[in-house]
A = this chain, B = another copy of it.
Amino acid sequence: MATAARALGGYGYVSPATREQVLAAAVRLGYQPNDVARSMRAKTTRTIGFVGADIVNPFFANAMRGVSDVARQHGFDVFLTNSDERLDLEQQAVRALLVKQVDGIILAPTGVGDAPHLRSVVESGTPLVFIDRALADVPADSICIDNVAAAETAVGHLLALGHRRIALVAESPVTGDDARCPVTDDDEWAARSVPDGVSERPDDRVIVPSAARAHGYLRAHRAAGVPVDSRLARRVPRYSQEAARDEVRRMLALPDPPTALFASDNIMGLGTVVALREAGLTMPDDISLVTFDDLDWTAITTPPITVIRQPVYDMGAEAARRLLARVNGDTSPPARVELPVRLLVRGSTARPGPRSS
C-alpha cells in the first residue's frame, strides 16, 4: 500500500496513527530507504562530482573541503576524481560522472587543449562550474582569482624592494620541445599560451594559472621599467618539485644569479626552497622569495616565507554554491567570479643585501 511509502517518505497525507504504526514496523523490519530507486524516479541523484588534478595537492584538498562542506549542508554527496592534469583522465572522469547521473560537476580543467567533452556537458544540461581555471569557449560559471594581478603584486613587491634580477619559477603549460622556452615578452607569451589560430588577447583567454602568473611577472617588470633577463624567465619543464629545484639550481649557477625569486605555486615553491637550501643560501640576506599559496609550512621555515594567499576553501565553497544554484534552476548567464588574494609579507623578502649583489 502506498500509505506506508507516504509515511516513510514523509509526503502526502497520512494519519498520525497510521504513521506511527508504519514507522514502528519499519524499524522492526529494518527498513532502509533506497536512494537509487528514488534517484531513478526523481531524475536527480543529489550528487555532484569534483574533478581536480590531485587531492594530495593542498590546493585541491582545500577546495574539495569547501565543496564538500557546502554540498553536505544541502544534502548532496560528492564524488572525488583526480585527473593528474591529463586530458584523457579528465574526459574519463567526466564521462563516468555523467553516466552516474550526477546533478552537477565542479572541475579544474586540465589546460589549453580542446574541450569538446566539457562543451557536451554543458549542452547535456548538466551544470558545470570551473574552479581555478576557466575555459573561455565553454559557457560555464568559473571561480578563480585574478592570476595576472596577483603575480604582478608579488613581483611588484620584489621590484619595490629594489630587486632587479628576479627569477620566475613557473611550470610550463607547454609540453614537449618548447617546454623550457623563455618567457620574455608579452606577445611571445601570448603566442605560445594560446592555441593555434586563436588571436584573442591574452587577457581574454587566460586559462592556465601558471601562464597568467608568468604574464603578471612580465607586466610588473614592464610597469617598473625593468628589463627581463630571459635566462631568469624560463619555464620549468615538468610540474614537479624536483624539476623546479633543478631549474632554480641552474639559475643560481649563472654568472649573475637572481637576487630574488617568484614561485608560481606551492609545488614550485617547495622545489625552490630545496634548491636554496642545497645552495646554502639564506633568506632574505642572500636572496628573497615570494611564492604562491599560503600553506602551513610556509610559516615555519627559516625565515617564514612571503606568500600570495588564495582563498582556496572559499573558492571551493563558492563553486559549490553556484553549482547548487544551477541545479536548483538558476539560469542567469555564466558568471566569472574572481576572489581576492592577499600578499602576506613575511621574512623571506627584503631589500637586496650586499651579499647578493
Contacts and interface: CB of A to CB of B under 8 A. Distances in A.
Interface residues of A, number: 47
B77 A96 contact: yes
A223 interface: no
A99 B36 CA distance: 8
Nearest to A78: B80
A100 B36 contact: yes
Nearest to A120: B30
A100 B35 contact: yes
Given A79-B79, A101-B36, A296-B241, A58 B55 contact: no
Contacts of A97: 77
Interface string A277-288: 100000000000
A1 interface: no
A270 interface: yes
Given A77-B79, A79-B77, A299-B274, A64 B55 contact: yes
A299 B297 CA distance: 11
Interface stretch (A37-45, A154-162, A212-220, A321-329): A37-45
Nearest to A282: B302
Contacts of A47: 79, 100
**Interchain residue pairs A-B with the least CB separation, the first 8:** A297-B297, A80-B80, A302-B302, A35-B99, A61-B61, A35-B100, A36-B101, A273-B300
